[in-house]
Amino acid sequence: MKTFFTVLGASIAFFLTVAMFGTAGWDRPPLAVHQNGFRGTAMEQVHTREGVAEAMAANAAPAPADPAEPGEELAGTAYENVQVLKNVSVNEFNRLMVSMTEWVSPEQGCTYCHNTENMADDSLYQKKVARRMLQMTQHINSTWKDNHVGGSGVTCYTCHRGQPVPAHVWFTEPGPNRPGGFVARNNGQNMASPSAGLSSLPYDTLTAYLADKSIDNNAIRVNATTALPTTKGKPIQDAEKTFALMIHMSEGLGVNCTFCHNTRAVSDWSQSTPQRVTAWHGIRMVRDINGNYLEPLLSTFPPNRLGALGDVPKVNCTTCHNGQSKPLNGAHVVEAYPELAKSTETASAAPPAVPATPPTPAPAPQ
């Protein structure tokens, strides 16, 4: 009997081993590896080729509308209630309205924003939000051109992708639905928040780093700059929040940490890639968008659009990037819509320009 089981066990093990080498399911899928740092530093992005092809297909930019017929008449004089696009020709204005409908509300049409009895009427909240969105898009494409969005720029489609509410927006999370208990101060951990990549890291990271436009430029510093402590350092909680933010940024861009950092010296700017500087500005740009454009719309949005704590829907890296390091495969989407490329806000109304501080080394937290 014993011999029988030994032989049976050995033959099953033999067949499983053969199956392991012979079956397609066990093969490693073909990889697309892109080296983005010095050789030997393991700075590379590893994706499957299939994954790259799928992401490219899912992020194709729509073709721009045919150019408008030239015309002299300006929208500001032809129409009754045009406040942002005053100096755009009527033909170009109508072309943009058609494109905006395709980008934001293709199923609902013009009526998503307009009372079609009177196009000048501002009674729908959607139209008031859309007007501010026009100013926001112009601001992103002008103020943040050199430091972040470059020649690609953004249109409504970059965030909306054919839907009135972009797929990736976020709200301040209300936190644990229970009283203190044993671990009253758990630093927001173990909540499996999507913004921390479902890890056990703090759930309120985005609120800490991406919501408040007034946060000091160099707040995200946790690495020591000296071998021994010289001042009272930052608490470990800051490191946890920083890590959660980094996970959000990596996921949002579909990259790993070495896209920006040489992980032998994470904080050292001189060993980081140029993309880390773009990301540094990206963090400030997101604060600018959320603090100066979305938060002031609090009273314009209807209550059903607000979060559990009554806050406005906000933007993060994923809203534009959608898992790619360059949104919409790097297409230069704003070129065909020059009216979206320059700001029309008066200098006093527009939010202040890009923070001038370059990403200098840390001011020695410890």
Residue numbers 58-87 binding ligand HEC by CB under 6 A = 79-85
Query: 288-326 burial, b if ≥16 CB within 10 A, otherwise e?
Result: bbbbbbbeebeeebeeeeeeeeebbbbbbbbbbbbbbbe
Q: Which two tokens stand for residue 194?
A: 């999507």
Q: CA–CA distance from 214 to each of 96, 277, 291, 356 (Å)?
A: 34, 20, 8, 14
Q: Residue 145 or 186: which CB sits closer to ligand HEC?
A: 145
Least Cβ distance, residue 315 to ligand HEC (angstroms):
5
CA 22 from centre of chain? 42
As a whole number of angstroms, the distance between CA 233 and CA 224 comes to 8
Least Cβ distance, residue 96 to ligand HEC (angstroms):
8
Among 319, 322, 323, 337, the residue binding ligand HEC under the rule CB under 6 A is 319
- Tell whether residue 169 is a contact of ligand HEC (CB under 6 A): yes
- Tell whether residue 95 is a contact of ligand HEC (CB under 6 A): no
As a whole number of angstroms, the distance between CA 298 and CA 287 comes to 16
Q: Which of the ranges 6-14, 55-63, 105-113, 184-192 carries the binding residues for ligand HEC, by CB under 6 A? A: 105-113
Least Cβ distance, residue 348 to ligand HEC (angstroms):
19
Residues in contact with 235: Cβ distance below 8 Å, sequence separation at least 6, in sequence order: none
Among 92, 95, 140, 241, the residue binding ligand HEC under the rule CB under 6 A is 140
- CB atoms under 10 Å from CB of 200, counted, come to 15
Per-residue contact flags (x/-) with ligand HEC for residues 292 to 311, judged by CB under 6 A: -------------x------
How many chain residues are in contact with ligand HEC, going by CB under 6 A? 81
Least Cβ distance, residue 6 to ligand HEC (angstroms):
49
- Tell whether residue 126 is a contact of ligand HEC (CB under 6 A): yes
